[in-house]
Amino acid sequence: MTASTQPLPAWLRMLYPFTLKSFSTTGGAKMSYVDERGTGQSPGDDSAVLLVHGNPTWSFYYRHAITALVASGRRCIAPDHVGMGLSDKPQDYKYTLAQRIADLESLVLSLGLKQIDLVVHDWGGAIGFGLAVKHPQLIRRIVILNSAAYPFEQIPKSIALCKTSFPGSLIVRTFNGFARSATKMAMNRRTLTADEKNGYLFPYDSSENRVAIDAFIKDIPSDPGHPSFTTLRRVADGLDQFRRRKVLMIWGACDFCFDASFFEEWRKYIPEAKVHLIADAGHYVADDAYEQVSPMIVNFFKS
């Protein structure tokens, strides 16, 4: 699938009414991204909030945060990783952590951003911090949502099953089991409306368009022999330089995947981070508890 140039359906535009642009990655694919300027923001302002999603979401996940940030006067950049969201979905792309970091890096450098406030979620943690470790001078403040950016061994049995060639790829690609299940399992405080659920699933309407969801799962480096383990280890080794940065962790405590052990591991890497646990929020914390999370992010970046 090629990045769509067609107007989005009216029901989706109601939920996701943002300015979309397209960028050609070093891997030769078109990356779709939100580029929404803040209310009253100066055209010469070269700062932005960069919001990095994980799997199986896309920039749609950040719709509430983007709306709040733009209203506060901030420019928001929210890319869809290649194979995800409204970006190209090539069947033979190099869907690795290293390539995803390179894609994000090339987008950021092309935009000429000089100061970034970073928001990461899920595998956006490893990708976003991969960029931060390479360009620490660009990063001002960071919000960490339920995510990881360091090696770990523990993954839920359901995700371990999806990592297999069979029946994992059958579940993920043929039946859309991973993305469809996430619209329920990743929420705890509230239930997504029918349109919200369809919004998450909109880009993933065929087996071919689920190629990167499957590849994202296969790329989880759960042991040192995995091809992406070295990249993830390199990211983790660079986290120490952010101990003195302004970092806010907003964590949904009812997460079936990134549970309390991931939260505690973050505390070891960045012990001085400001922490806000949301006891009844799930993995999709920025959506599940958006009425709390969006103002927190806005206020933190104003501080």
Mean pLDDT for each 10-residue chunk of the chain (303 residues)? 71 97 94 93 87 98 98 97 98 97 97 97 98 98 98 90 96 97 98 98 98 98 93 98 96 96 97 97 98 98 88
Computed from CA positions of residues 16, 187, 150, 86, in that sequence, does the dihedral angle turn out positive or negative? negative
User: Using a CB cutoff of 8 Å and minimum separation of 24, what contacts does 105-112 make?
Assistant: 105/130, 105/131, 105/134, 105/135, 106/23, 106/25, 106/26, 107/23, 107/25, 107/31, 107/33, 107/77, 107/79, 108/50, 108/77, 108/135, 108/138, 110/23, 111/35, 111/48, 111/77, 112/46
Is residue 20 within 8 Å of 46, Cβ to Cβ?
no
Among residues 197, 175, 176, 195, which one has the least CA distance to residue 186?
197
CA triple 272-276-279, angle to 5 deg: 140
CATH architecture label of 10-302: 3-Layer(aba) Sandwich (3.40)
Is residue 108 within 8 Å of 78, Cβ to Cβ?
no
**pLDDT score recorded for residue 5:** 58
Pairing of strands 20-24, 30-36: antiparallel
Alpha-carbon gap, residue 121 to 192, rounded angstroms? 18
Alpha-carbon gap, residue 133 to 149, rounded angstroms? 11
List Cβ neighbours of 276 (8 Å cut-off, separation of 6 or more): 248, 249, 250, 251, 296
Crossing angle for the helix pair 97-111 and 124-134, to the nearest 10 degrees: 60
Alpha-carbon gap, residue 126 to 216, rounded angstroms? 12
**pLDDT score recorded for residue 41:** 81
Burial of 260 from C-beta contacts in 10 A (0-12 / 13-18 / 19+): exposed
Task: Tell me the one-letter amino acid at 112.
Answer: G
Token pair, residue 135, equals 């360009």
- Phi-psi region for residue 88, left (φ > 0), alpha (ψ -120 to 50) or beta? beta
Q: What's CA 267's distance to the chain center, in Å?
A: 20
Q: Structure pTM?
A: 0.97
Q: What's CA 203's distance to the chain center, in Å?
A: 15
Alpha-carbon gap, residue 275 to 286, rounded angstroms? 15
Among residues 132, 38, 19, 145, which one has the least CA distance to residue 78?
19
**pLDDT score recorded for residue 303:** 77
Give the up-direction half-sphere exposure of residue 113: CA atoms within 13 A in the CB hemisphere.
27
Alpha-carbon gap, residue 261 to 93, rounded angstroms? 32
Alpha-carbon gap, residue 180 to 302, rounded angstroms? 36
Burial of 2 from C-beta contacts in 10 A (0-12 / 13-18 / 19+): exposed
**pLDDT score recorded for residue 231:** 98
